């Protein structure tokens, strides 16, 4: 296990404070072919930005401006609007990469943004107009993320957050990640408002923006067959890896390589 993985959660502050390049730096960085796209990495539910640490490290090392924003995990519409606002502050081309629930957020947030040149989905939801997370997760058999796997904790006004239970977290979410790391991941998981499960997606950006998809063959949250269905429907460039739901953590080199391919 690498030092980066051992500090998965603690390292998120370093990503936010030091490793993530500012918009000004993104504008300044150029290659022989013009400005490098800014890579925006979007996390999903039950996770935070630190899940992208190893991928971000590789991309920054290779000269890409990288931004790893916090995903609020409150509702599809508000989270998408939040991300769209962040994207609007970035000048120049953007490659938007998302994991899990982050996929539905990116699918909505990038719509109409001419600067987004590529979408990358890592074991992520890639919905069409009107589809919901619950529909895509349960359309095919294989998901172990069900009601029995979740703890429900209410917060103001009768709203409810969902957390994955400790006893099933590693098996369901990150079976190919060392147990010491998944203990930290469970302790620091960020919950999603349960309303996100049934909220329909709006017009999808993948209809007009080229997309890439990393299928996690051993995913126990979003079955691989569902991932293949969504990727094929969108005519995405597909790569597969034998990974759990958190393919960007267990296979950061493969994930970074696919994002760089999308960046052209």
d(CA 132, CA 193): 14
Phi, psi torsion values for 180, nearest 5 degrees = -60, -35
Residue 192, pLDDT above cutoff 50: yes
Q: Give the global pTM.
A: 0.88
- pLDDT tens, residue by residue, 58-102: 999 999 999 999 999 999 999 999 999 999 999 999 999 999 999
CATH superfamily of 3-141+195-263: Alpha/Beta hydrolase fold, catalytic domain (3.40.50.1820)
Rounded Cα–Cα distance for residues 124 and 100 (Å)? 4
Q: Nearest 5°: CA angle at 234, between 136 and 256?
A: 90
Return the pLDDT at 156: 86
- Domain borders along the chain are 3-141+195-263
Provide the pLDDT for residue 83. Answer: 98
Residues 6+ apart with CB under 8 A from 31: 63
Neighbours of 122 (CB within 10 A): 34
Locate tokens 């993948």: which residue? Answer: 206
Q: How far is CA 188 from CA 23, 133, 231, in A?
A: 28, 23, 30
């Amino acid at each position: 296990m690498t030092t980066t993985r051992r500090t998965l959660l603690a390292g998120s502050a370093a990503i936010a404070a030091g490793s993530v390049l500012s918009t000004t730096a993104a504008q300044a960085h150029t290659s022989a072919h013009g400005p490098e796209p800014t890579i925006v990495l979007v996390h999903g539910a039950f996770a935070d930005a630190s899940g992208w640490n190893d991928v971000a490290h590789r991309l920054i090392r290779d000269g890409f401006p990288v931004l790893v924003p916090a995903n609020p995990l409150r509702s599809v519409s508000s989270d998408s609007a939040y991300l769209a606002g962040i994207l609007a502050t970035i000048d120049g081309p953007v490659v938007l990469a998302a994991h899990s629930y982050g996929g539905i957020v990116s699918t909505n947030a990038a719509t109409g943004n001419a600067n987004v040149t590529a979408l990358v989905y890592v074991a992520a939801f890639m919905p069409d107009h009107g589809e919901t997370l619950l529909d895509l997760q349960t359309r095919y058999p294989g998901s172990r993320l069900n009601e029995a796997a979740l703890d429900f904790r209410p917060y103001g006004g009768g709203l409810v957050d969902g957390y994955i239970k400790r006893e099933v977290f590693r098996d369901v979410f990150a079976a190919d990640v060392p147990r010491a790391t998944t203990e930290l991941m469970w302790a620091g998981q960020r919950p999603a408002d349960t309303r996100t499960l049934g909220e329909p997606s709006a017009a999808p950006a993948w209809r007009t923006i080229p997309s890439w998809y990393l299928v996690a063959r051993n995913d126990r949250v979003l079955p691989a067959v569902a991932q293949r269905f969504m990727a094929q429907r969108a005519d995405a460039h597909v790569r597969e890896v034998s990974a759990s739901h958190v393919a960007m953590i267990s296979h950061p080199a493969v994930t970074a390589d696919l994002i760089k391919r999308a960046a052209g």
